[in-house]
Amino acid sequence: MEAIKAAKSRLVAGLTSSHRLTEHCLARATDSTGQLSFTMLFPEQARLSADAIDKMLAAGVDLSPLAGIPISVKDLFDMRGYTTTAGSIALKGFPVAATDAAVITRLKRAGGVILGKTNMTEFAYSGVGINPHYGTPVNPYDEQVERIPGGSSSGGAVSVARGMAFAAIVSDTGGSARIPAALCGLTGFKPTQKRISLAGTFPLSPSLDSVGTIARTVECCAMVDQVLAGDQHRELGPSQLSRQRFLVPQNYVSDGVDLHVAKTFEQSVKKLSDAGATIVETRFPEFEEIASLNAKGGFAAPESYAFHKRLGADFALYDPLVLERIMVGQTTTAAEYLDLCEARISMKSRFRVAYSSADWILCPTVPIIAPPIEQLQSDSQEFRRVNRLLLRNPSLANFLDLCSLSIPCQREGDAPVGLMLFGAEGRDQTLLSVGSAIENALVANSL
């Protein structure tokens, strides 16, 4: 599927229509490969939206860059008139949402065509992407072996990878945008938390939750992000890699990296160096400290337990592996939670002092390629091990409230590998600009 900007250019030029784009995406979403990606489709609403945009385009109305572009949304954003089930059967029958989530309101105002709600790990509480209630969307890169898509935004990533949507609006609490993007060969963006409103979003951990995007390119992510953040549209500014300094951690994020990921990441870093970037290998003792602070479930366990205890859903209907993680929060004391809050504030302050805000951090998004679904469904211990591995690297950005981007860096035909970029809090637009330069360098040096 083409990038958003190319599709919009064809729309404006009259070479295609939003109706055609929408029908194509709906057809993909309902064929044999797409049925597990969505928990809910809105075909009639999508067609009405597309037709309305086509009429405005024909009348010469100046519209948002996302107007007429089919988009998928994760099943944890409220949509007026529908129950937000967050990938669970336990919430079926709960009241419908009275209003749209803030990001849905902004997407509708921009003219985005919402195709439906995408499948996800139940309550967004896993980086694997397996859902025993609605089925697990299959990672499209391997046609021989059914592999995990990554989570928790499993359906969102597969909807983009299989051409059912031009972008997916998702959440990211510990990597839920970047993990499936990396495993499916896509781009995933996690903004600074306060950049995009969480109003009307089903929570996992309010301390860490953020609204992210999965799409084909960095520019696509930037276009969606600007709409969700309420920014005026602007092109990504030019960024020269020769002026950028990248710190490459030699501890923690590099532990247990499999051979294919390690080799692909090393080759990618060399391409950036060849393009003029300054590469500095260093150690980050803070990463091990963060791991120690999160050893008893971090923020997600107590915050999710508190929420679900009040929610009143039947725990017996929860995915046992998700419920297991939620119930860890039952043992967290108030003193432990407050200590964790204080430790995070201190860590964020120390990190800002220790590392220049002008520096970027580079590491593999996840240390492994996507394993087979069956392997993790049949072995709960292996599921837990893989889940920890997948969450380990991207969750650092959530704890420190950094902005972060995962960019595919594998050679064509190889198993997908994500190169992850961390930037200082609030440097989202600059990070996307630098990410676009990285993307161009990786492509140029592959020719």
DSSP of 305-325, one letter per residue? HHHHHHH---GGGS-HHHHHH
Asked if the peptide bond before residue 346 counts as cis, ω within 30 degrees of 0, the response is no
Q: Taking the mean position of all CA atoms in its chain, how far away is CA 429?
A: 17
What token pair was written down for 2? 């083409």
DSSP 3-state of 2: coil
Rounded average pLDDT per 10-residue block, the chain, 447 residues: 94 97 97 89 98 97 96 98 98 97 98 98 98 97 95 98 98 98 98 98 98 98 98 87 97 96 98 97 97 96 98 98 98 97 97 92 98 97 98 98 98 97 97 97 75
pLDDT at position 446 is 63
Report strand pairing: 187-190 vs 167-171.
Answer: unpaired
Q: Which residues are catalytic?
A: 74, 152, 176
- Beta bridge partner(s), residue 405: 189, 421
**Residue 158: what pLDDT?**
98
Domain 4-229 = CATH 3.90.1300.10: yes
Is CATH 3.90.1300.10 the right assignment for the domain spanning 241-444? yes
Burial of residue 411 (CB within 10 Å: 0-12, 13-18, 19+) is exposed
User: CA 344, CA 401: separation in Å to the nearest integer?
Assistant: 10
SS3 328: helix
For residue 418, give the H/E element and its range. strand 418-423
Distant-in-sequence, close-in-space partners of 447: CB < 8 Å, separation ≥ 6: none
Structure tokens at 350: 């120390």
DSSP label at residue 372: B
Domain ranges across the chain = 4-229, 241-444
Write phi, then psi, for 409 (nearest 5 degrees).
-135, 5
Backbone angles phi, psi at 183, to 5 degrees: -75, -25
Measured distance CA(390)–CA(371) in Å, rounded = 11
- The whole-number pLDDT of residue 35 equals 81
Amino acid at 447: L
Task: Give me the pLDDT at residue 444, please.
Answer: 73
| Beta-bridge mates of residue 31 | none
Nearest partner of 189 among 204, 169, 162, judged by Cα: 169
Contact status, residue 140 vs residue 158, Cβ threshold 8 Å: yes
- What integer pLDDT is reported at residue 445 of this predicted model? 64
Task: Annotate 331-359 with b (16+ C-beta within 10 A) or e (fewer).
Answer: ebeeeebeebeeebeebbeebeeebeeeb
Token output for 331: 């043992």
pTM of the entire structure?
0.97
Residue 223 near residue 65 (C-beta atoms within 8 A): yes
For the chain, give the longest Cα–Cα distance: 62
Asked if 4-229 and 241-444 have one fold, the answer is yes
CA–chain centroid gap for 259, Å, is: 25
Written as six digits, the tokens of 127 are 């980086």
Q: For residues 43 and 25, is the Cβ–Cβ distance under 8 A?
A: no
pLDDT at 236: 87
